């Protein structure tokens, strides 16, 4: 959970992992991260969405500079000699960093003499997740940022899909097991039969295919706290096993009407926090959402989710949004808000759909409500929103929103049952 800067939801450039059956062997990697592909529902596909989710009060005059990172956010199976590049129009790059997520090692690169492009100097490592962060400024000195997380191709026949959560991790009780495939799976029953998911709690676990590229596994109710989940892939004598732990239970309920969030840990209320959710024009989704990513600081830009003014400028451009946690792939976050007045929290819904908590810019001491919630949350924790004016149902495949589907519907989506 570093200080990485990202734009808010780059319109579903999250591509699924390479998949299929290579040489008759099914295997899946658990490369780190929980940014899961969403291929349909609530604007998570190729459609812009109003779920941009940020307070208009923080809007700044946007930079004319436009950063493009190739390949885009969430791309899997990038070749080690693939032309990774960062370019900018109507401005110059001021800083570009590329780091290996697992080790933090920075990849050397070269900035062009005119400041409009950057490339890494050498080959990338196989089966490695990289984060690219770029900053640029226009002629008026107005800055902008961009970022992308990519994963390079694996060794031949090593794995053919991408699995989350990662091996050895500890996650919240609502974290589903997700397998993303690059190639469309036609014989879903055959592929699913090679994936076994079990829990030490004894809960029945069932897989559900959202489409030809994604299958998730979950029990009827949240995982039991303290249990261990084991994912085993076995075919023709070749086996791969991934295990992860379920931590304590934390269920946070946002009431958009009372503008309060109640945090319940292991059945006991430990905190009530005033919030500001989506305005009547941009209401927050109702439903069960799962924290999939955590960022101590991000850069939110309306253009990344299709929110622009008539002149094409982003509807908002807010730097250093603190303590941000992703709730949907279409752009819903719960995050700190340092630009709103204290009277907003608990009194008014003013955002573009995010859930905002009181914060100060650069708070590193955990004294503000947003910092407290960030420090006491883990990936896989559930955030439930109720009483919002939003009428559109939250799609279960928008992020890790699996729990918004009834158990009967869930089981019906499994060819193996």
Predicted local confidence at residue 307, as pLDDT: 64
* pLDDT beyond 50 at 263: yes
Question: pLDDT of 149-183, one tens digit each?
Answer: 888 876 533 445 678 998 999 999 999 999 988 77
Q: Pick the catalytic residue from 208, 282, 352, 354.
A: 354
Q: Are 249 and 173 in contact (CB under 8 A)?
A: yes
Longest dimension (CA), the chain: 63
Residues 147 and 298: their CA atoms lie apart, in Å, by: 10
55-64, 133-142, 268-277: lowest mean pLDDT where? 55-64
Beta-bridge partners for 276: 356
Predicted local confidence at residue 300, as pLDDT: 78
* pLDDT beyond 80 at 24: no
Which of the pair, 60 or 170, is modelled with greater confidence? 170
Task: State the pLDDT confidence band at 363, using cuts at 50, 70 and 90.
Answer: low
HSE-up of residue 402 (Cα within 13 Å, Cβ side):
32
Q: Catalytic site residue 354?
A: yes
Question: pLDDT of 119-155, one tens digit each?
Answer: 999 889 887 889 899 999 999 988 888 888 888 876 5
Residue range 250-403 in CATH 2.40.440.10: yes
CB neighbour list of residue 320: distance below 8 Å, 6 or more residues apart: 5, 297, 298, 299, 361, 362
Which of the pair, 102 or 363, is modelled with greater confidence? 102
Question: pLDDT of 369-405, one tens digit each?
Answer: 999 999 999 999 999 999 999 998 899 999 999 999 9
DSSP 62-91: PPS-EEEEES-TT--SB-TTS--EEEEESS
Exposed e or buried b for every residue in 301-314, given b needs 16+ CB within 10 A?
bbbbbbbbeeeebb
In 237-281, beta strands by DSSP E: 238-246, 250-255, 260-265, 268-276
Question: pLDDT of 232-255, one tens digit each?
Answer: 987 556 678 999 999 999 999 999
Q: Catalytic site residue 9?
A: no
At residue 410, φ and ψ (nearest 5 deg) are: -60, -50
Q: Is the pTM value of this prediction over 0.85?
A: no
* pLDDT beyond 90 at 59: no
Predicted local confidence at residue 9, as pLDDT: 30
Predicted local confidence at residue 303, as pLDDT: 63
Residues 239 and 83: their CA atoms lie apart, in Å, by: 34
Predicted local confidence at residue 168, as pLDDT: 92
- Please compute the mean of the pLDDT values over residues 184-195 and round it to a whole number: 90
* pLDDT beyond 90 at 284: yes
Percentage of the chain modeled with pLDDT above 90: 55
Which of the pair, 99 or 361, is modelled with greater confidence? 99
**How far lies 403's CA from each of 31, 79, 313, 386, 414, in Å?**
24, 35, 36, 14, 15
Q: Pick the catalytic residue from 335, 352, 365, 376.
A: 335
Question: pLDDT of 317-350, one tens digit each?
Answer: 777 889 999 999 988 999 999 998 899 999 999 9
* pLDDT beyond 90 at 312: no
Which of the pair, 219 or 185, is modelled with greater confidence? 219
Predicted local confidence at residue 286, as pLDDT: 97
Domain ranges of the chain: 250-403
């Amino acid at each position: 959970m570093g200080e990485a800067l990202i734009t808010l939801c780059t319109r579903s450039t999250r591509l699924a992992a390479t998949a299929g059956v290579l040489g008759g062997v099914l295997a899946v990697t658990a490369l780190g991260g929980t940014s899961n592909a969403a291929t349909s529902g609530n604007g998570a596909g190729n459609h812009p969405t109003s779920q941009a989710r940020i307070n208009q009060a923080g809007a700044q005059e946007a930079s004319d500079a436009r950063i493009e990172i190739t390949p885009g956010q969430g791309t899997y199976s990038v070749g080690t000699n693939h032309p990774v590049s960062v370019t900018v129009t109507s401005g110059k790059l001021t800083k570009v960093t590329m780091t290996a997520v697992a080790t933090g090692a920075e990849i050397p690169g070269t900035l062009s003499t005119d400041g409009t492009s950057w490339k890494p100097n050498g080959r990338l490592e196989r089966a490695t997740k990289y984060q690219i962060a770029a900053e640029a400024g226009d002629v008026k000195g107005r800055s902008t940022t961009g970022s992308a997380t990519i994963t390079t191709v694996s060794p031949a026949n090593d794995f053919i899909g991408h699995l989350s959560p990662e091996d050895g991790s500890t996650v919240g009780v609502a974290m589903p097991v997700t397998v993303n495939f690059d190639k469309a799976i036609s014989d879903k029953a055959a592929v699913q039969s090679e994936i076994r998911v079990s829990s030490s709690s004894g809960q029945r676990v069932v897989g559900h295919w959202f489409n030809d590229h994604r299958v998730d596994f979950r029990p009827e109710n949240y995982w039991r706290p303290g249990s261990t989940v084991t994912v085993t892939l076995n075919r023709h004598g070749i086996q791969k096993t991934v295990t992860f732990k379920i931590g304590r239970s934390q269920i946070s309920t946002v009431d958009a009407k009372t503008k309060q969030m109640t945090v319940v840990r292991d059945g006991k209320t430990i905190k009530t926090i005033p919030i500001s959710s989506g305005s009547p024009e941009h209401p927050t989704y109702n439903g069960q959402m799962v924290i999939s990513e955590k960022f101590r600081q991000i850069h939110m830009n309306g253009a990344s989710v299709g929110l622009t003014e008539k002149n094409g400028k982003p509807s908002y451009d807010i730097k250093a949004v603190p303590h941000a946690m992703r709730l949907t792939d279409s752009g819903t976050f719960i995050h700190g808000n340092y630009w709103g007045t204290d009277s907003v929290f608990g009194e008014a819904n003013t955002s573009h759909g995010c859930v905002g908590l009181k914060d100060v810019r650069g708070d590193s001491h955990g004294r503000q409500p947003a910092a407290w919630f960030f420090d006491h949350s883990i990936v896989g924790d559930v955030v439930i929103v109720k009483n919002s004016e939003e009428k559109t149902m939250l799609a279960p495949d928008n992020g890790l929103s699996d729990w918004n589907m009834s158990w009967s519907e869930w089981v019906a989506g499994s060819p193996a049952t």
